Amino acid sequence: MTKTLIFAHRGANKEAAENTRSAFDKALAYPIDGIETDIQLSRDEVAVLWHDRDLKKLKLPGQHVDDFTHAQLQAMNFAAHFAGSSAPEGVMSLREFIAAYRARCGLLLEIKNRDWERVERQELKVRKTLALVGQVTDDRIMVSSFNLDSLVYAHRFADQFPLVLNLEPEHSVRDAQRFLHDHPFLYGLCVHISTLDVDMMKVVRERGKRIAVYTCDSDAEITRALTLGVDVLISNVPDKALQMRDQ
């Protein structure tokens, strides 16, 4: 990486329903470098793209993606919550996403872990994600998670795969230092913009790792990330981030 890459957060989610084909295609109307998306499992164990813990946006509060089969999720309109959506869109599978976009831009695949899931199901999600991606020879496809155990498990199956640990806003520079020291296989960290500073950059760079930052939307946030020289800037307004970077 020779410059900060701009990744669209769940696609162009200000212009179309997040994590839908419409949002991804609209994001690629700009010269973005990549797309960040979220992976969960349907009841019948199909990897699909959805961020939220529940389906409240679809007027199904208290119900989750894993309460429904893939066919049932495809029959729902995952774009209905977005004002101005023109056509219904069923859930997009990870298989469809990779086939459609891996040749067009970089991909950051965040594996979502839920409190109610058994460990075996979380591990299955990791295995399915790695299998669908297949062999990687560079960092155009990276897998991330807030769940360190999932990344440790992933490393057992694909020890050359770029695995990125997401840090919460409450994680400090000391936490980052500890994670990288204890788990040298990590390709890098994805940190919250509120924790990004010179010290955080130093901890990551001293270990030869990559750093991504989420979610940079304001001018001040984008400027800070660009000035510090992060590798990946994740934004809900990728068009603005691109314009600021390329100026």
The Cα–Cα gap between 90 and 188 comes to 33
Please report, rounded to a whole number, the percentage of residues in the chain having pLDDT higher than 90: 95
Domains of the chain (ranges plus CATH)? 5-246 (3.20.20.190)
Residues 126-154: pLDDT tens digits? 999 999 999 998 999 999 999 999 999 99
pLDDT exceeds 60 at position 1: no
pLDDT, average across residues 101-115:
96
The Cα–Cα gap between 79 and 60 comes to 14
Supply the DSSP string of the chain, one letter for each residue. --SPEEEEETTTTTTS-TTSHHHHHHHTTTT-SEEEEEEEE-TT--EEE--SSSBGGGTBTT--GGGS-HHHHHHS-TTTTSTT--S--PPPBHHHHHHHHTTTSEEEEEEP--TTS-HHHHHHHHHHHHHHH---SSSSEEEEES-HHHHHHHHHH-TTS-EEEE--TT--HHHHHHHHHH-TT--EEEEEGGG-SHHHHHHHHHTT-EEEEE---SHHHHHHHHHHT-SEEEES-HHHHHHHHH-
Residues 203-237: pLDDT tens digits? 999 999 999 999 999 999 999 999 999 999 999 99
Q: What is the dihedral of CA 32, 33, 39, 44, to 10 degrees?
A: 90
The Cα–Cα gap between 59 and 10 comes to 20
| pLDDT on residue 2 | 59
**Distance in angstroms between the alpha carbons of the first and the last residue of the chain:** 19
Confidence of residue 50 (pLDDT cuts 50, 70, 90): very high
Q: Residue 18 contacts by C-beta under 8 Å, 6 or more apart in sequence?
A: 9, 10, 11, 51, 82
Predicted TM-score (pTM) of the model is 0.97
